[in-house]
Amino acid sequence: MRIALITPYGREHRNGNWHTASRWARFLREAGHTVRTQVEWDGRPAELMLALHARRSFASIRAFAERFPTRPLLLALTGTDLYRDIHEDADAQQALELAHRLIVLQDRGPDELATHLAAKTRVIYQSSPDIARRSTPANTFEVLVIGHLRTEKDPFRAALATNYLPDSSRIQVTHLGGALSEDMAETAELAQNKLPRWHWAGDVSHQTVLRRLSRAHLLVISSVMEGGANVICEALAAGVPVLASHMSGNIGMLGQDYPGYFPVGDERQLARLMTMAESDPAFYADLLDHAATRRSLMRPEQEASRLRQVVAEFEQNPA
C-alpha cells in the first residue's frame, strides 16, 4: 500500500514523535509498503494515512478525510492528546471521529476514550533493540533523566530530589535534553549552580543518550503527562530500572504492580526511592525483575508485528 505517514515534528527535533515515526516507517517498508513521511500531507494520493498527534496533525487528517473519505485513516495518540487535547480541543476531538483506527502506546490509553472510540483502538507498545551494558562508574551511582525541558515532563523534579539525599549518597543525576524556552534554560543553569548532585548536559545526540543509558544505574521519568515514553523502552532494553511518576501513561508502560512509582510532583518520595535503589540490593533487584517482565512487551519484533496487523486490517478491503 502507499502510505502517508504524518508526524508533527521533523527529524531536526529528535523527539519521541520523530523516533516513533521513523521506526514505524521502517517497519512498514520492510513489510513491502511504500511510505512517505511528512510533517504535513502534500496532497499526493495515498491508500492509507497514518498520523501521529490528533491536534497537531489535524489539518492533514481533515484534508485526507475530505478527499478520500473511504480510505483508511489511522491515528496514533500522544500523551498530550490523551490527557489534555481530546478533552478540550475541538480539532483533536474531530480527529478521533474521522479516524478508522486509533493507536495508543500503552494499555491504559483506552481508558481515556469514549466506548465507541475505545472499540476502534489498538495498543502498540513502542520498542528498542537490546542495548549492551557497559561498565558502570565505580564511585558514582549514576541516575539519568532524559527528555527536553518542558512543563509536561516536570523536568526538575529529580533535581529537587537531590536536596533530600543522605550526605553519604554517591548519587549523581544527569539530565540529557535541550531547553525548549529561555526560561527553562535559565532554570536549568540556576539548578546546576545550586545543586551539586544535578548536572544538565543539554541537547545531545540519540547515540549519546543510548551510550549513557548503557552505563547508568537508574532512569527517572517524572512526567505529569505521558502517552507512553519511548525512553522507558530504551531503559529496559539497556537493563536499567526506572523510577516513574505514578500516572496513567507510566502505569500503562510499567504495570500496576511496578515497585518504582512515586506520587506526581513528590521529590521527597522520589529521593527516598533513589536512596533505596542505591542502598537496598533487594529493592534494586525487584525493580530489575519487574522491568525484565515488561521488557518482553517492548521488543522491535512485537512492535512491528502489531503495527503491520493494524494496517493489514485494511489491506483486503481498504474501504
Domain-located, residue 227: yes
Residue 132 inside a domain? The answer is: no
* pLDDT the model gives residue 18: 82
Examine the domain organization and report whether 223 and 279 are in the same domain.
yes
Q: What is the pLDDT of residue 14?
A: 57
Q: Could you list the residue range(s) of the whole structural domain that residue 18 is in? A: 2-126+299-312
The predicted structure's pLDDT at residue 237: 97
In the predicted model, is pLDDT for residue 318 greater than 90?
Answer: no
Q: Do residues 149 and 180 lie in contact, with contact meaning Cβ atoms separated by under 8 Å?
A: yes
Examine the domain organization and report whether 164 and 279 are in the same domain. yes
Mean pLDDT of the chain: 94
Q: Nearest CA to 65 among 77, 51, 81?
A: 51
Q: What is the pLDDT of residue 110?
A: 96
Classify residue 318: in a domain, yes or no. Answer: no
Please tell me the distance from the alpha carbon of residue 140 to that of residue 67, in angstroms, as a whole number. Answer: 58
Residues 99 and 197 in one domain: no
Overall domain count for the chain: 2
pLDDT tens per residue, range 103-143: 999 999 999 999 999 999 999 999 999 999 998 888 999 99
Residue 10: per-residue pLDDT: 56
Answer yes or no: is pLDDT of 214 > 80: yes
> Measured between alpha carbons, how far is 106 from 61 in angstroms, rounded to an integer?
23
Please check whether residue 82 is in contact with residue 116, taking contact to mean a CB–CB distance below 8 angstroms.
no
Q: Are residues 173 and 70 in the same domain?
A: no
Question: Are residues 285 and 246 both part of a single domain?
Answer: yes
Q: Where residue 33 sits, what CATH number does that domain have? A: 3.40.50.2000
Question: Which tens digits make up the pLDDT trace of 163-207?
Answer: 999 999 999 999 999 998 999 999 999 999 999 999 999 999 999
Tell me whether residue 151 is in a domain.
yes
Mean pLDDT score, 46-70: 97
Same domain for 149 and 290, yes or no, is yes
Query: Cell 494496517 sits at which residue?
Result: 311
pLDDT digits (tens, 9 = 90+) for 241-273: 999 999 999 999 999 999 999 999 999 999 999
Residue 134 domain-assigned (yes or no) = no
Q: Which residue has the higher pLDDT, 83 or 137?
A: 83
Instruction: Tell me, yes or no, whether 27 and 118 share the same domain.
Output: yes
Say if residue 170 is in the same domain as residue 281: yes
User: Is 277 among the domain residues?
Assistant: yes
- Confidence bin at 315 (pLDDT 50/70/90): confident
Decide if 233 is inside a domain.
yes
Residues 278, 151 share a domain: yes
Give pLDDT tens digits for 3-42: 999 998 655 545 567 889 999 999 999 999 999 999 999 9
Same domain, residue pair 155 and 290: yes
Same domain, 18 and 159: no
pTM: 0.91
Q: What is the pLDDT of residue 117?
A: 97
Structural domain contains residue 41: yes
- Cell numbers 473511504 correspond to 70
